[in-house]
Structure 1
Amino acid sequence: MPIEYILGIASFLTSIIAGVLGFGGGMLLIALLPLYLHPSTIIPIHGITQLASNSSRMLFSITDVQWSLLPKFLVGSLLGIVLFGLLLANIPSTYIPVAIGLYILLNLWSSRFSSFIKRYENYYIIGLLQTGLGLIVGATGPIATSVLTKELTCKNQIIATSSMFMSISHVAKILVFGFIGFSFFEHLSLLIYMVLGSIIGSFVGTKLRSLASNDHLLFIIKLLLSLLAIKMIAAVITEYY
């Protein structure tokens, strides 16, 4: 099966997951991408796809977006672009799968790491970390989602507002990678399939949100993410050592 079809379907399915749960889809997709893409293309292609996924999910629930939280997050995001953009320029692309894999495993299974991430409840800092780290590890949605869950009582508001935050982070990612010379047009065919899959998946996930049982789905996502993260790390280690 052509890679466009495979990753288009993957974008569709992971976007459904994100539409239902509000997170998990982006992390699952970025764990799959190293199996099919060169390391240097993973983050920018993931950024375009997830911008489509998050912005469409936000639009499908536009009345639930909490716009009052936007200014602080936006200021933090701008700072994150500058600080982490400088760091990105000095990281070999070969090791990006390792950074992604470690981030996923720590975020899922380390209570200390999870507590460290979740305790930043200032939206300036959340914007800085979520957008800045997104340049390096790609999927950072849980950073803001964990805080929104404490402040908002409506699941639709949490998911819609988190989607708005992530849309900003992915726009920043696309701009930074475009600035440093990544050519998105070289991957236009793949991106069309992935973007269409993401938008359709967001629509389906939004419709299914009220019907889903989260507990079982969350366990499956965590298990799949962990296996894929270990595979990513092992592939780099075995290749160079």
Structure 2
Amino acid sequence: MPHEVWMLALLLVASFGTAMLSAVAGFGGGVLLLPVFVAVFGARDAVAVLTVTQLASNGSRVWFNRHEIDRRLVKIFAAGAIPAAVVGALLLTRAPLPALTRVIGAFLLAIVVWRRVRPGTARLGDRGFAAVGAASGFGSALVGSVGPMVAPFFLARGLTRGAYIGTEAASAVVMHLTKLVIFGAAAVLTWRTGLFGLALAPAAAVGAWTGKKILDRLPVPVFVVLVEAGLIVSGTTLLLTGG
């Protein structure tokens, strides 16, 4: 019992910290939390627990920025994200665990490379943005969170601060709800994983609220550097130990 209490305490702290980070930098919380969950739950259950936790984190960011959300853009994104998330979630239920762990590790490293190689992204039209939604929905279903890769496309549409944070979070909520339906139907989301995710949801919500409060006070580049350093360490570890 003491071991489980300490494990839950660690997960609560990690959920709070990464949700706060996402609320400030607009990305990074989910992908930093993912390696922690993989270590505790295993790759497949980690994605399910992360989905529940991220739903709370993103839902909180939606509420705190609700007056600035670009609802039309969320609908365009959802048009591509929902069907692709269904396909990705179904694939997750059949993926071998060692391969899935390595995919997650490679994905985390790819995020850092992507952000350095493509720091800026051209503005896409509605069809292109729906395609980004499709790629995001599929990737999110397999690895839990793809926020750092899609963030530049939201920024390229002219969204800033609260509008960007809220709109990106609302789009993520659509994907997470879709994944939860499939995970539940395929028995990937069990009572155990669901309860763990719900137990961590309050910490994620408080973290999002705290991040909203400090959004205008701290330099975001500092958080970005910390996120990328964490991604490199986590991605390398998962890639080397996936078998």
TM-score after normalising by structure 2: 0.89
1:1-241 → structure 2 map (5 Å cutoff): 2-110=6-114, 115=118, 121=124, 122-237=128-243
Q: What are the superposed Cα offsets for residues 165-188 of structure 1, whole Å, 9 maximum, x if unpaired?
A: 111111112111111112432235
How big is the shift at 1:196? Answer: 1.0
Residues 235/19 of structure 1: CA separation in 2 closer, same or farther (3 Å cut): same
Preserved contact between residue 101 and residue 229 of structure 1 (Cα < 8 Å): yes
Residue 77 of structure 1 and its aligned partner are, at CA, apart by: 1.6
The C-alpha deviation readout for 1:61-89, integer Å capped at 9, x for no partner, is 10011001122212112220343345334
Alpha-carbon shift at residue 107 of structure 1 (Å): 1.5
CA distance in 2, matches of 1:67, 1:44: 27
Structure 2 residue matching 1:170: 3-state secondary structure? helix
Distance 1:136 1:153 in 2: 27
Cα gap change, 1:48 to 1:111, in 2 (>3 Å): closer
Q: Offset of 1:218 from its aligned partner?
A: 1.1
Cα deviation digits, residues 99-118 of structure 1 (max 9, x gap):
11101101212569x64x95
Q: CA 1:58 to 1:105, structure 2 compared with 1: closer, same or farther past 3 Å?
A: same
Letter in 2 for 1:140: V
Q: Distance in 1 between matches of 2:223 and 2:154?
A: 21
Number of residue pairs matched by the alignment: 236
Q: How far 1:90 moved relative to its partner? A: 3.7
> In 2, distance between residues paired with 1:228 and 1:154?
29
Cα separation, partners in 2 of 1:217 and 1:129, compared to 1, 3 Å: same
Q: Name the CA distance, whole Å, in 1 between partners of 2:202 and 2:112.
A: 29
Q: Is the 8 A contact 1:3 1:190 kept in 2?
A: no
Change (3 A) 1:89 1:211: same
Tell me if structure 1 keeps the 8 A contact 2:85–2:137. yes
* 1:136 Cα deviation from its structure 2 partner: 0.6
TM-score between both structures, scaled by the size of structure 1: 0.89
1-structure distance, mates of 2:75, 2:239:
37
- In 1, the alpha carbon distance for the partners of 2:13 and 2:217 equals 22
Separation of aligned partners in 1, 2:101 and 2:85:
20
- Which blocks of at least 5 consecutive residues in structure 1 are unaligned? none
Look up the SS of the partner of 2:67 in the other structure.
helix
Runs of 4 or more, structure 1, over 6 Å off, are none
Q: Is the 8 A contact 1:9 1:194 kept in 2?
A: no
Query: Structure 1 residue 95: deviation in Å?
Result: 2.2
8 A Cα contact 2:18 2:30, kept in partner: yes
Counterpart AA for 2:52: I
* Higher mean C-alpha deviation, range 176-185 or range 79-88: 79-88
Please give the alpha-carbon distance, in whole angstroms, between the structure 2 residues aligned to 1:189 and 1:85. 20
